[in-house]
Structure 1
Amino acid sequence: MSGSARVGVCHVIGAGLAGLSAALRLAESGRPVRLYEQAPQAGGRCRSFYDATLDRTIDNGSHLALSGNHALVDYARRIGAGAALVEQTPAAFPFLDVRNGDAWTLRPGGLWLFDPQRRVPHSRPWQYLAALRAVLATAGQSVDDALPPDGALHERLWRPLAVSALNAPTARASARLFGSVMRETLLRGESACRPLLAPQGLGAAFVDPALRRLAELGVVLRLGARVDTLRFEGTRAMGLSVDGAMIDVAAGDSVILAAPAWVAERLIPGLTVPPPGPAIVNAHFRLDQLVRLPGGLPFLGLVGGTAEWLFARGDVVAVTVSAADALAQETAESIAASLWRDVAAALRLDGPSRPCRVVKERRATPDQAPDSVLRRPPARTRWDNLCLAGDWTDTGLPASLEAAVRSGDRAARCVLSAC
């Protein structure tokens, strides 16, 4: 194709973070890109929206990125959004046990393991070496297999980190995926562990600037455009039906499917994908004043209650609970009441619950148990001009913003390498 006068078009299906990153990489290389998104807005699960109950713009779900997420940081730089991310330096992770008020802050870096004030209370330096068991875990091991629940750090460190990173109970979560998180962050030192926060929201950091940059590069974006069917002939994808209208995929053209796993499974015959994982529940409370969390940082890990992480932005505190299938079955009112108890305990607030918006993501991530991880497909497919992207593909990482961007980059490079 490189000798042809016509440069092939790449059709990218899905404008979540995986699709946006793939479209960006292709457009930067000079490829014409058409981007299709079924929803009325881009961003997928990484989006912000205005909530009338709170009269505030909130995120669909809270995400804590780290400076070791190199693909995500590079993506933000390339879309011109570096200023929308705030790096917390030095790295610090405050925790609070809501049962008894015990508080501590994990401060990795340097000789931190030998400073009792920078590690979990009553822990010993050698106990942290257990992280290596997750890094070296076999494909079939769960987090509990590698880091047993009776270990000194399980409740106060390994479990909070693993459940939030993998959206699964530690008895089911893949130890190998958790090990990949440890390998790329905690085991690389303080400079790879610095929290990256988006004070103006996920949309302002990762979606809106990407759309502006893609428009500058000539990418054609169609929102509210549902891809109904992919048509195959021989070894190629030959067409895609968008809202019932067939669009031909000409010689030299390519397709990147960056839709959720269950959509990809419907569109591609014989594709093996991981099943959906547990729900994630988020609750956003608007308080009467600006929020200051214990520990002094805009996020806080909680132990001993229902809520797992708190994030403060202005006068709104967001609560995140992963692996939350049981909680998601409750009414929004019941969820708000349960989570408010933890928020009130953490912030030492009295009185009734404040105005709240509950967001339930029932298919927040793919299932990340060891057997499900083995079902993740690679970027390349058996069709010459079709590649896959998404945090459910085989990136070697848990489903996350970093995995989504990395998958989009990988799919784009597969397309470009075939030119």
Structure 2
Amino acid sequence: MKPIAVIGAGIAGLTAALELKKRGLPTLVFEAGKSIGGMASSFKDADGFSYDFGAHFVSNRLANALGAGGICRTVKHYGEAVHLRGKSYSYPFGLMLSPRFAPPAIAERTRDRKVVSAADWFTKKYGQTLAEEVAIPLAEAWSGAAAEELSPAIGQKFGPRILKSLYLNAAALVTGRAVCNGYSHEMPESADVYHVYPEGGMAKLLEPIANEVRDVVRLESPVEKILVEDEQVKAVRVKGETIEVSAAISTAPVHILPKLVSGTTALEPMAAFRYRPMIFVNLRFMGRGLLPDTVMWVPDRAQPFFRLTETPISMPWLAPDGKTLITFDIGCEVGDTYWTMNDETLAQTCLDGICEMYPKLRRAFISPGGVIRTPISYPVYLMKYEEQRQRFANSTGVDGLYSIGRNGEFAHSLMEDVYWRTIRRMGDVADYVGGVPEDLPFAAEIQRMMKPSEDERVRAA
């Protein structure tokens, strides 16, 4: 059997490779970078502050599935708040129970509002006051588009219903663990699913799964083209070499995928899909618990940032004793004022902004902790390509071509959902290429015979 090409060695690519390997299907993983892991990377500076590039929050269920449960610490607390008009409200209940927001939300339930855009969805979900003062400004900040231009599908990003949130919050108090609340849409959340953090940083999370497939990963091997004939994947070209494949699995952002594919126009509409660029500014302070909770949303349009995260509130080991780290999320566009601003000015801008909210923090400020810019962060669900997005969610339109992962699916998916969606999608790939079902009699023997010998692997490498 010709190998299946997996493009990218982040969590989605590595998960796909291991799942295909378990099914006895030959696989090659092509990674453009010098190391595996994608956005799941981390480092610790000389002063003892730890930084992650990617999600800080991982569930114990995902860690166990990846084989990293044994190296993870339990996170005991996690919470969110909203800063509005000089006051902080816990999220979601502090807002929903406020006399200012509760009556409009209740009244909205009785209205027959037609939901066409994200603005309609937020109004119907939260009531006009809360939608206009909190939900819509935040959505526009991290998408860079007006709520009237966004699809109501953007609501998929938000957490469970109020009663479910009440149950999960109560479970967190009883168990003394940070129970996951709205972090997975693919699997049920319960009191037994809680946040953990791997010893040594996020990069350690993928080590067990990476070790399982390391022999099929080719680093510094960017895929130049995915070759298609008669609307079917035939080969990939890597560093000038054409390799015949039975299927191709891409983790590339969907607006880049049309540039990789040659021999079809099926993917051309995806070239117009937009991702929101982001800047993450880290500042170091004396003290701990400077924010009302781990994450604080800031719908104030006058501020450059829309979210603040003080991770050491939940994971104190990420900063030295008596100190803390606050991360500022800034939505921007490549080449705009914030994107081109130097790191020192960005840090000062964020410090000035947070000190408008909490003046005492200026005396607690130690130093900047670094700036990360990424041109591809959140997918932007614009109404003008919503129909095409929904079609793409079901199929790429090319036989043997699959797109997975957060960027590859153009989805608001967190790490755990990426994992489970990838596992399920590999069943489709196995069906397409004619894999061996694991419950078939003598499946293990058949899979062993299908695997290439050591000599064949050496020749292929």
CA distance in 1, matches of 2:21, 2:248: 14
Bigger-Rg structure (1/2): 2
Q: Which has the higher helix share?
A: 2
Q: Deviations over 1:273-326 (max 9, x none)?
A: 142333211101123x3531332x332223433222222232322111235655
Percent of residue pairs identical: 20
**Contact between 1:134 and 1:176, CA under 8 Å: does it hold in 2?**
no
Displacement after TM superposition at 1:56 (Å):
3.9
Is 1:189 paired with 2:165?
Answer: yes
Residue 255 of structure 2 aligns to a residue whose secondary structure is: helix
Describe how 1:4-43 pairs up with structure 2 within 5 A.
Answer: 9-43=3-37
1:87, CA displacement in angstroms? 5.6
* Aligned match of 1:112: none
**Structure 1 match to 2:83:** 96
Compared CA separation, residues 13 and 242, structure 1 to 2 (3 A): same
Q: 1 CA distance for matches of 2:135 and 2:232? A: 45
> Deviation string for 1:25-58 (max 9, x for gaps)?
3234343332111122333344334567x76441
Shift of residue 12, structure 1, vs aligned partner: 0.6
Q: SS of the counterpart of 1:255?
A: strand
Question: Do 2:106 and 2:127's aligned partners in 1 also have CA atoms closer than 8 Å?
Answer: no
Does structure 2 conserve the Cα–Cα contact (< 8 Å) formed by 1:390 and 1:408?
yes
Matches within 5 A, 1:51-66: 56-61=49-54
State whether structure 2 residue 177 is matched by structure 1 residue 180: no
Q: Could you tell me how far 1:86 is from its partner in structure 2?
A: 4.8
Query: In structure 1, which of residues 369, 374, 387 is the aligned counterpart of residue 387 of structure 2?
Result: 374
In 2: Cα distance, 1:193 partner to 1:40 partner = 35
Confirm or deny: 8 A CA contact 2:309 2:326 kept in the other structure. Answer: yes
- Pairwise CA distance, 1:347: 7.4
Name the SS for the 1:384 alignment partner.
Answer: coil
**What are the within-5 Å matches in structure 2 for residues 11-410 of structure 1?**
11-49=5-43, 56-61=49-54, 74-82=61-69, 84=72, 86=74, 92-97=79-84, 100=86, 102-108=87-93, 119-120=97-98, 122-124=100-102, 127=105, 137-138=115-116, 141-143=117-119, 146-147=122-123, 151-154=128-131, 156-159=133-136, 162-163=139-140, 167-171=143-147, 174-182=150-158, 184=160, 188-190=164-166, 191=168, 193=181, 199=197, 204-205=201-202, 207-216=203-212, 220-249=216-245, 253-268=246-261, 269-270=264-265, 271=267, 272-273=269-270, 274-287=272-285, 289-295=286-292, 297-304=293-300, 305-312=303-310, 313=312, 314=319, 315-323=324-332, 326-344=337-355, 345-346=357-358, 348-351=360-363, 354-376=367-389, 377-378=392-393, 380-392=395-407, 397-398=411-412, 400-401=414-415, 404-405=418-419, 407-410=421-424
Give the C-alpha shift of residue 362 in structure 1: 2.1
CA deviation vs aligned residue, 1:357-411 (integer Å, no higher than 9, x gap): 122222323332122333332353444322122335557x535545644553343
Deviation at residue 126 of structure 1 after TM alignment: 5.5
More displaced, 343-352 or 316-325? 343-352
Residue 417 of structure 1: aligned partner: 431
Distance in 2 between residues matched to 1:385 and 1:299, nearest whole Å: 41
What TM-score does the superposition give when structure 2 sets the normalisation length?
Answer: 0.69
Q: How many residues get paired?
A: 385
Question: Which structure 1 residue ranges, 5 or more long, are not aligned?
Answer: 1-5, 68-72, 109-115
SS at match of 2:237: strand
Residue identity opposite 1:320 in structure 2: D
Length-normalised TM-score, structure 1:
0.75
Contact 1:14 1:35 in 2 (8 A): yes
**CA shift at 1:212, angstroms?**
2.2
* Partners of 2:182 and 2:53 in 1: CA distance: 23
User: For the aligned residues, what is the CA RMSD?
Assistant: 3.9
Given that 2:19 and 2:426 are in contact with CA atoms closer than 8 Å, whether structure 1 keeps it comes out as yes
